[in-house]
Amino acid sequence: MSAQPVQLNDFKRLWADAGDAVVAATQAVGASGWYVLGKEVAAFEQELAAFAHSPFAVGCASGLDAIEIALRAQGIAPGDRVLTTPLSAFATTLAIIRAGAVPVFCDTDESGLLDLEAADAALREVAGIRYIVPVHLFGHALDLERLWRLSDVHDVQIVEDSAQAIGAAWRDKPVGSVSGVSATSFYPTKNLGALGDGGAVFCATEELAQTCRSLRDYGQTAKYEHTLLGLNSRLDELQAAILRQAMLPRLPNWLQRRAEVAERYRRGIANPGVAIASVPEGSQSSWHLFPVRVAADQRTGFMEHLKRHGIGCGIHYPILIPDQPALKGRSFERWGELSRARLLSQEGVSLPIHPYLHEEEVERVVSTVNSWSAR
Ligand SMILES: *Cc1c(COP(=O)(O)O)cnc(C)c1O
């Protein structure tokens, strides 16, 4: 193979495009002499909130912290049960456990997102569920109207994990808009990535935003006055400036490019051994990932075929969260068998879908997928 490998993410191309803007932002913060929670964080929070159609955004140190802060701002108490999905980044559940709560895992639908039908049943049958943490996985938006009805009928709070879904919407309603507080991440691979770690909490009211600002900063409400037991989870001025000046202005084009690549894959991939994973109805996806499915006993062979032809790929996610060794002996519950989520963890393969893919590379991914034959 003489052609360059097609990578799952290509940070060198990102740097070639955005490097000058990153250096300028860095220069300005360095010269300002103010490095933590200053003007840049405030300015980024405003522009981010406007982009996400949310009244308030509060920057913090990671997506993991953003979920924990969101839950705590909504008043989560030790022992509260939280309905969530077994197929996600481990951080979704880790945040629930760090908040002192008990995760209740519910199966996914065919798309790999929380099955809202099963969630409804779980909420009726399991006592003590006070929160739902749904994940807009792969950048697909869950049905926001049904989520809202679930929260209304069962009197539970929703904290959306939008770490993969910034810019996604369900029937023109932006993700994050059904919960009073929702969370996102700026980990470099995310659709809006920093040059390091970062996250944000979106809040519907000034009061919630104030609680989140306090929680990210040791629970301070005034200088040296601590009302809550908070975290050190502040967003750096440097990352905020990089995000606002170099990354956020590029995000609309990046999202458009991801959607184009997804469309090309959906039209071009035609291999009886490779199923294109379904997308929830009504979802206007941000296409963080593009998963396809192959039979579980063929997955290794398929991934080797891709690798041999220089196509990077990944698995999201190979181990269900309740099966993770770290949860052994911890307090959690399962609602039902989780068999759909388990099948997806055995069959899913993610293809490259970053915004710096060249046209020729997209075609190469399609033809390589189509040239594979299951044995
Ligand atoms: C990345 C991710 C997180 C965690 O974000 P970090 O910034 O890495 O802590 C949480 N949930 C989902 C769905 C993610 O993809």
Q: Write the pLDDT tens digit of every residue in 107-163.
A: 999 999 999 999 999 999 999 999 999 999 999 999 999 999 999 999 999 999 999
91 alpha carbon – ligand 1 mean position (Å): 6
3-state secondary structure string across the chain: CCCCCECCCCHHHHHHHHHHHHHHHHHHHHHHCCCECCHHHHHHHHHHHHHCCCCEEEEECCHHHHHHHHHHHCCCCCCCEEEECCCCCHHHHHHHHHCCCEEEEECECCCCCECHHHHHHHHHHCCCEEEEECECHHHCCCCHHHHHHHHHHHCCEEEEECCCCCCCEECCEECCCCCCEEEEECCCCCCCCCCCCCEEEEECCHHHHHHHHHHCECCEEECCEECCCCCECCCEHHHHHHHHHHHHHHHHHHHHHHHHHHHHHHHHCCECCEEECCCCCCEECCCCCEEEECCHHHHHHHHHHHHHCCECCECCCCCCHHHCHHHCCCCCEEECCCHHHHHHHHHEEEECCCCCCCHHHHHHHHHHHHCCCCC
172 alpha carbon – ligand 1 mean position (Å): 24
Mean pLDDT of 302-322: 98
Please, what is the average pLDDT of the chain? 97
Question: What's the angle, vertex CA 257, arms to CA 43 and CA 352, rounded to 5?
Answer: 110
Cα–Cα distance between 108 and 116 in angstroms, integer?
8
Q: Which of 187, 243, 317 best tests ligand 1's pocket when mutated (most atoms within 8 Å of CB)?
A: 187
Mean pLDDT of 322-326: 98
- Written as one letter, the residue type at 203 is C
Cα–Cα distance between 294 and 277 in angstroms, integer?
10
Q: Which of 8, 68, 175, 185 best tests ligand 1's pocket when mutated (most atoms within 8 Å of CB)?
A: 185
pLDDT tier at 282 (50, 70, 90 boundaries)? very high
Cα–Cα distance between 220 and 360 in angstroms, integer?
53
Longest dimension (CA), the chain: 66
CA separation, residue 159 to residues 22, 44, 63, 72, 318 (Å): 32, 22, 13, 10, 25
- Are the CB atoms for 149 and 136 separated by under 8 Å? no
Given a cut of 90, whether residue 177 has pLDDT beyond it is: no
pLDDT tier at 375 (50, 70, 90 boundaries)? confident
Q: Which of 60, 67, 161, 239 best tests ligand 1's pocket when mutated (most atoms within 8 Å of CB)?
A: 161
pLDDT tier at 374 (50, 70, 90 boundaries)? confident
Given a cut of 90, whether residue 201 has pLDDT beyond it is: yes
271 alpha carbon – ligand 1 mean position (Å): 32
pLDDT tier at 333 (50, 70, 90 boundaries)? very high
What is the number of the ligand 1 atom nearest to the C-alpha of 199?
Answer: 7
Given a cut of 90, whether residue 179 has pLDDT beyond it is: no
Pocket of ligand 1 (CB under 6 A): 62-64, 88-89, 91-92, 135, 161, 163-164, 185, 187, 197, 199
CA separation, residue 144 to residues 117, 118, 174, 340 (Å): 13, 16, 9, 21
- Going by alpha carbons, the residue nearest to atom 6 of ligand 1 is 63
- Are the CB atoms for 239 and 187 separated by under 8 Å? no
Given a cut of 80, whether residue 77 has pLDDT beyond it is: yes
Cα–Cα distance between 254 and 51 in angstroms, integer?
14
Q: Write the pLDDT tens digit of every residue in 24-62.
A: 999 999 999 999 999 999 999 999 999 999 999 999 999
90 alpha carbon – ligand 1 mean position (Å): 8
153 alpha carbon – ligand 1 mean position (Å): 29
4 alpha carbon – ligand 1 mean position (Å): 29
The pLDDT assigned to 2 comes to 56
Mean pLDDT of 284-291: 98
pLDDT tier at 256 (50, 70, 90 boundaries)? very high
Q: Write the pLDDT tens digit of every residue in 215-252.
A: 999 999 999 999 999 999 999 999 999 999 999 999 99
What is the number of the ligand 1 atom nearest to the C-alpha of 189?
Answer: 1
372 alpha carbon – ligand 1 mean position (Å): 32
Cα–Cα distance between 149 and 162 in angstroms, integer?
19
- Are the CB atoms for 111 and 277 separated by under 8 Å? yes
158 alpha carbon – ligand 1 mean position (Å): 17
What is the number of the ligand 1 atom nearest to the C-alpha of 135?
Answer: 13
